[in-house]
Chains A and B, each alone.
Chain A
């Protein structure tokens, strides 16, 4: 088996859930109300190894911990306990232009977003022509992002992310963006990325896209790995479990 890129051991994540709603000074002043906070165990000890060149799909019901697991891998959360080791450059595929500033042009947003994804200024400037080309935005690239449609924004976001040259791509259910032609382009890119030995970790509720791109499927159920293996087998038992309900 090839080299392990992501190594997850005994990963647990717990959230404090408040029933009082938005945070305010009121919650601080009423400190004794802290007892009302609920401890929510989202991940209850996950062990997972992701190897170079794998394309792993995470499936599971809402609240099973899929997105939490992706966030932990991207260092957004700190684990409650357990360890995660990531041994390669990693880039998240952002949702519809998260991090874009509406008043800046597409071009100006490329620079900033590229840098937030871990490129240096020089690297972003070198890749800007390819990013613009891939996004198919043409002359719109010089207009403020607030004038973009959501599809255009998603295309720009996707184009930046794929030019980061990450070895691991983290995708949280955003492949269904843009029109049919662009979707095809995304799948082509993913095929190319995989052919070059890239690793992908993604969450999806769409069985077709799982079968289309994944070569391994992990089923998470209430914070634990329920089944791990070949996509068609795992999907079959996942869907059977869903049908039982």
Chain B
């Protein structure tokens, strides 16, 4: 592994050039460029807010902010995995002709999407600031927890990169992988607290037999845990409307579960190392796939 990392470091300029190329290609033929990648989450969140706040009459404070805080990172995860799944396969004609560390291909897909996430996060923080101004400067939106944001982003990047290594390598040999991944990502969206809250899950489960166990299992999914973590860091906690039994009640947000978050961090780091290992084992066989 150390040899491979050394080689990758030697080719770091090529990696940067490839990231630049990915960004360029995406916006080459469109007039509004980066605006498009912001428009998608904004429209989605506007519709979600409309549905939940007005059609389903949910009373939760700053609903849009809550959804955005979880949806933006999920979009990154989604796009990065779908892009990287194809990354090695589409580059195969070059891979068959020139030597360069193959891991650059999925890495460039992940990093270019990560740059989008970083920009979207900046826009999101500006949005919170503007909302604060519109509301007459009441309840400053940022807390000391915002300091954790870079840490969360790094963990999320490690998690995504690890999975991207595995998926991009497998997709070379079994092209079904990308279809399976897109279905799994769609299902994962519903198994992640994006349109609802981890509090919703807790109050729905807590009185049921082995409800606590299910709650824990639910949060062993790193993506679910990260969605909650991003919300804690980005949004000032307010009251959330949840269903408990037959009635709806307003509750404060639950304290952050550091234990489960620790598990997520360890799983992410493990996936990064393991994914790189798998990729390196398979990369020499890309050109001679049966």
Contacts and interface: CB of A to CB of B under 8 A. Distances in A.
A187 interface: no
Interface in B159-176: 172-176
Interface in B256-290: 284, 287-290
A74 B99 CA distance: 7
B145 interface: no
B96 interface: yes
Given A23-B175, A78-B284, A112-B17, A103 B290 contact: no
Interface in A64-113: 71, 74-78, 92, 94-95, 98-99, 101, 103-104, 108, 111-112
Interface string A130-164: 00000000000000000000000000000000000
Most A-side CB within 10 Å, residue of B14, B97, B173, B176: B97
A11 to B, nearest CB: 16
Interface string B34-77: 00000000000000000000000000000000000000000000
Most B-side CB within 10 Å, residue of A16, A111, A116: A116
B29 A76 contact: no
A112 B97 contact: no
A120 B17 CA distance: 10
Contact of A22 (B13, B14, B175): B175
Interface string B4-16: 0000000001100
A23 B96 contact: no
A16 B290 contact: yes
B94 A17 contact: no
Interface stretch (A24-32, A176-184, A194-202): A24-32
Contacts of B21: 101, 104, 108, 112
A8 interface: no
A186 B9 CA distance: 35
Contact of A92 (B25, B97, B174): B97
A121 B13 contact: yes
A189 interface: no
A224 B275 CA distance: 39
Contact of A112 (B18, B99, B177): B18
Interface in A193-221: none
Interface size, B (range): 20 to 34
Nearest to A117: B98
Nearest to A21: B290
Given A23-B173, A116-B14, A121-B13, A99 B290 contact: no
A28 B94 CA distance: 26
A28 B174 contact: yes
B274 to A, nearest CB: 19
A103 B29 CA distance: 8
Contact of B24 (A98, A108, A115, A120): A108
Nearest to B26: A103
B209 interface: no
Contact of B290 (A37, A111, A121): A37
B97 A115 contact: no
Contacts of A77: 284, 287-288
A18 interface: yes
Nearest to B287: A76
A52 B288 CA distance: 31
B17 A115 contact: yes
B98 A74 contact: yes
A96 to B, nearest CB: 10
Contacts of A99: 93-94, 97-98
Interface in B88-129: 93-100
A16 to B, nearest CB: 6
B175 A24 contact: yes
A116 B174 contact: no
Contacts of A98: 93-94, 96-97
5 pairs of A and B residues whose beta carbons are closest in the complex: A18-B290, A75-B99, A99-B94, A25-B176, A78-B284
16 contacts: A22-B175, A24-B174, A25-B174, A71-B96, A74-B99, A75-B99, A77-B288, A78-B284, A92-B98, A94-B94, A94-B98, A98-B93, A98-B96, A99-B98, A108-B24, A116-B100
Given A27-B174, A115-B17, 4 more contacts: A74-B98, A76-B95, A104-B28, A121-B17
